[in-house]
Structure 1
C-alpha cells in the first residue's frame, strides 16, 4: 500500500476525490476545525443522537454533496492520544472492506498535536490492510492501494511520517515471514531474505552454514539442528549508520522455523502454530527492513540462529550433554526447551562486537503467556537503564513490555549433576528460569531478553503474526540514535532523501 502525507484542512479533505474519507474527531477539536460545510456537518452529527459517543464509535454515509468522497466515515477519537487514534483508525479501516475501495483519505487535521499519533494511525491502517496471500491459489483480500494522510502541517510531521512508514514496512515483513508455513519459511529461506536486505544501503549480510558453525564451537545450536533434514543457518547482519567507533546494539532473534518439541514431542493440538516460533528472527529481519528505510545514525548488528527442532533418529535426547560456544556444558533435560540452546551460542558470539547493549527476542516460554497473556511482552534485563529505555520505547510505540525479576535464587533449579547446568528449571517461574539460563552467556554488556511468546502471534479466528516487537525495537533504536547524535558522525551521507510518498509492500514470494 502507498502512504502519502499531505497538508489537508477539513475543507481541503472534503474537496479531495477518493473512495472513502475518514475523519477523526476528538472531544476537543482544534480551533477552526468546524469551518466549511463538512465541518458544520461533523459538528452537527457530533452533538446529535445519530452518532454514538465513545472511542472508535462511527457515523457513516454515502453520496453526500459536502464531500467528493464516495463515502464519508466519522470516527470518535476522544482525547486524540496515540492509543485512541490507533483504535479509532483500526475501527474505521475495518469498516472499509468493500472491494471497490482503492483510495482512502484519512484526515487528522482536527486532532490536537500529540507526539506519536501519526505513527499510531499509520500502524493501525497498515495492520488493517495486511492480508496474507502467499500460499493461497487465489490472491483474495482488500483492494486498498493508497492511503493519503491529511495533517495540519506535512512539513512538521515529515520526520514522524518517515519513521512510521519504515516501521510499517518492517512490521509487514515480520508478519509475512512469521505467517508462512514451515515448508515455505525454512532456515535457508530466512537466509535468502537477509541476503536481499543486505543489498540495501548501509546493510551487509553474512550467512554461516553447518561447517562454519561447527568451527565456532556452537555445540548447543548444532544439537538442536541435528534432528532435521533442513540445514541450519546462522545469519549475521550489520547496519552501519554511524561512525565505526560507535559501539553497536546487537539484536538476537530466535529462528526456530518449526518446533515439534523434538524427542520431548509437543501435544498435537495447535502444533501448527509452532511455525511462529521464529517470531524473534522475523522481528530482527523486520527491524533491518525498517532501518533500510529510516536510515538512523546508529550501528546495529542482527544475529539469527535458525534451524528446525525435529524428532528423528539423529535428534538430541533428554539427558544428553552438549558443550556450548562459551565452553559451558549443558544437560538437555527437555528437548522442547530448544530456543535457549540456540540463543546461548548466539549470545556468546555477540560479545565479539563489544556492544553497547545486547537484546534477544524470542518466543521462548509458555510460562510467559500465562504470566502476561497477549498484551505485554516479558522483559528481563541486567541493566536498569536499558530496562527503562525499552519500557519507555514500548509505551511510546504502543508495543508494551513488562519487566520481570532476575534474582539469583531463580537459577537454583538449573543445577545439574552431570553438566554445568540443565536447560530447564521446572514449572515454577518458567519464564524467569529460562532468562536465568540465557544470562549465563551474556558477558559484561548490558543485556535484555524479550519473551514474546504471548505477543508474536494471535490464535483462533484471528490467527496470524502481529509483527511485534518491531515497533518497540525501532523506537528504542531511534531514541538511542537521537541521544548519540551530537557525538556520532555518520559513516556516509544517506543515499537518498526521505520521501514524502512511501510504498509498503509484501515481500516477494519465494518457492519452497
Structure 2
C-alpha cells in the first residue's frame, strides 16, 4: 500500500473511491462541496438525507456514483463538532474510512480532510497513521486468507502539498506499532526469549543500534536473582536485551524504556486455573513488544536523545526447577524478596531490569508492563495506569498520551500501602493484599530505582482488544509505541 499526496483539486480528482470528512455543523453542503455534489448529480445530498448522516465522529456512509464520473464510490465520514477536533479524531476517522474502503474492495482511495489546528504536518501524520493501522492485516498464520485480494493499493491525500515528510514519519512510527502487534499476536511457540533477542538483533542490524544481550551467566555475575528465579523453570534460556540508540553529537537527554518480557506466563507453581485466561498469556510480553517497536521507530526518526531499550525476557513455566512459593530471591541491588505468589513474576523480572537501567546515568526511565489484573478492574480495557513519584515525568507522559491518543490515567502511589508488602523474613514480599493490587505492584517496583526519575505504565488492559478498538479488528493493539515515541521526540528536542 502506497500513501502519497495528490496535487489535484477536490473537483478534479479521479480515482476509485473519494472519502470526504464533514463536521456536524457542515453536513449542509456549500461552496466546493455543493459544486462537487452537482457534478455527482446530487448524490451527496441524497445519501446524507437517506442515511440521516449527521457528521457524528467516526460515522460513515457509502454510496456508488453512476454514469461517467471520474470517481466511482463516495465515503462520507463524520468528524463531530469542529470545536472538539483532535488528532485522535483524525486518526480514528481515517481508520473508519480505510475499513469501509477495504470492505468495498477499493483500490485507489482519495482523502479530503480539514486541517487540525491549522497544522498540515500533524494532520497528515495523524491521517496516515490511522488509515495504515486500520488496514494492516496479520495473516502470517493463515494458510489461505479469505480476503487476501481485497486490499487498498494507493491512498492519496488531497490538498496537503509539501507534506511528504509527515507521511514518512507516520510510516516509521507505524512500522514500530506493527512490529509490536506482530510480537504480541504471535503464539508462545513462535515468540520465545530466543526469537525476541533475534528481533532486537535485526533492529540493531537494520538501523545501526548497539545491542548487548546478557546471557544467563552474565545475569548471574550481575546478581540478577529476581529475574533468574522466574527463568529457572523454563527449558529456554533467558535473554536480557539492551538496545541503545545514540544520536550524532551530544544528546540532549538520556532516556530508558523498559518492557516486561514474559513470552509465556503459566503462573508457575501458582498455576493459572480454569477461566484465568492462561491461553492468552502469550501477550505477557506486551511491554517488551512496545519497547522493541519503539526502538524500531526511534531508530528511524533519529531524535536528539540517547535511548536505552531494555527487557529481561523469559518464560514463567513449571518444572522440577521452578521457584517455590515461599522462596527468597535476591535482586541485583541486594534487596531480598519472599515469593508468596509465583504468578506475580513480571515485577521480579522488572526489578533487575530497573536496577540495571538505574545505573546507566539516565535522565528518566519509563517501564511498561502487562502487570496486574487489578489495573484492568480499575481502568478497564482502554486505559493504562500511570504511576510515578515524579510530577514532571508524569506530565511529559500525559502530554505524549494526549498527542498519541493512547489513553493513560495517573494513579496514586500511596506509600502506606507498602505495609502490605512487608515480609517477616525478607525485605519484602512480591505481592500484597488484594485491595490496591496495582498500587502495591508499583510500590514494589519503586524499591529498585534509586537515582533516576521513573514512571511505570500498567498496560494490562489496552495491550489486547477483544472487540474492534477502531484501528484493527481484534487482537494485539501495539499499545504504547506511539506514546513512547512522542515522549522521546518531545523530551529530545
Is the structural similarity TM-score above 0.5? Answer: yes
In the TM superposition, what is the alpha-carbon distance from 1:159 to its structure 2 partner? 4.3
Q: Distance in 2 between matches of 1:413 and 1:118?
A: 49
In the TM superposition, what is the alpha-carbon distance from 1:52 to its structure 2 partner? 1.5
Q: Distance in 1 between matches of 2:185 and 2:474?
A: 9
Q: Distance in 1 between matches of 2:48 and 2:324?
A: 68
> Is the contact between residue 230 and residue 316 of structure 2 (CA under 8 Å) also seen in structure 1?
yes
After superposition, where does 1:445-456 map in structure 2 within 5 Å?
A: 445-456=452-463
After superposition, where does 1:81-120 map in structure 2 within 5 Å?
A: 81-98=86-103, 100-109=105-114, 113=118, 116-120=122-126
Q: Distance in 2 between matches of 1:231 and 1:135?
A: 25
Three-state SS of the structure 1 residue aligned to 2:326 is coil
Q: Which residue of 2 aligns with 1:411?
A: 418
Q: Which residue of 2 aligns with 1:26?
A: 23
After superposition, where does 1:16-165 map in structure 2 within 5 Å?
A: 17-18=15-16, 20-27=17-24, 33-34=32-33, 36-38=35-37, 41=42, 44-45=45-46, 48-53=49-54, 54-65=56-67, 67-78=69-80, 79=82, 80-98=85-103, 100-109=105-114, 113=118, 116-142=122-148, 143-155=150-162, 157-165=163-171
Q: Which residue of 1 aligns with 2:271?
A: 265
> Is the contact between residue 212 and residue 243 of structure 2 (CA under 8 Å) also seen in structure 1?
yes
Gaps of 5+ in 2: none
Q: Distance in 2 between matches of 1:168 and 1:249?
A: 21
After superposition, where does 1:24-423 map in structure 2 within 5 Å?
A: 24-27=21-24, 33-34=32-33, 36-38=35-37, 41=42, 44-45=45-46, 48-53=49-54, 54-65=56-67, 67-78=69-80, 79=82, 80-98=85-103, 100-109=105-114, 113=118, 116-142=122-148, 143-155=150-162, 157-244=163-250, 246-269=252-275, 270-423=277-430
In the TM superposition, what is the alpha-carbon distance from 1:291 to its structure 2 partner? 1.3
Change (3 A) 1:278 1:7: farther
Q: Distance in 1 between matches of 2:10 and 2:88?
A: 22
Report Cα offsets for 1:445-492 as digits up to 9, x if no partner. 11000000011112368541110011111111111122xxxxxxxxxx
> Is the contact between residue 373 and residue 454 of structure 1 (CA under 8 Å) also seen in structure 2?
yes
Q: Does 1:443 align with 2:440?
A: no
Three-state SS of the structure 2 residue aligned to 1:96 is helix
Provide the aligned length of Structure 1 versus Structure 2. 478
Computed over aligned residues only, the root mean square deviation of the Cα atoms, in angstroms, reads: 2.4
Q: Distance in 1 between matches of 2:203 and 2:257?
A: 16
Q: Distance in 1 between matches of 2:490 and 2:43?
A: 38
In the TM superposition, what is the alpha-carbon distance from 1:186 to its structure 2 partner? 0.3
Q: Does 1:464 align with 2:475?
A: yes
Deviates more, 1:126-135 or 1:339-348: 126-135
Q: TM-score, normalised by structure 2?
A: 0.90
In the TM superposition, what is the alpha-carbon distance from 1:158 to its structure 2 partner? 4.0
Q: Distance in 2 between matches of 1:392 and 1:105?
A: 31
Report Cα offsets for 1:105-134 as digits up to 9, x if no partner. 222257773574433322321222122222
> Is the contact between residue 356 and residue 446 of structure 1 (CA under 8 Å) also seen in structure 2?
yes
Q: TM-score, normalised by structure 1?
A: 0.87
Three-state SS of the structure 1 residue aligned to 2:33 is coil
> Is the contact between residue 43 and residue 65 of structure 2 (CA under 8 Å) also seen in structure 1?
no
> Is the contact between residue 207 and residue 296 of structure 2 (CA under 8 Å) also seen in structure 1?
no
Three-state SS of the structure 1 residue aligned to 2:287 is helix
Gaps of 5+ in 1: 483-512
> Is the contact between residue 248 and residue 353 of structure 1 (CA under 8 Å) also seen in structure 2?
no
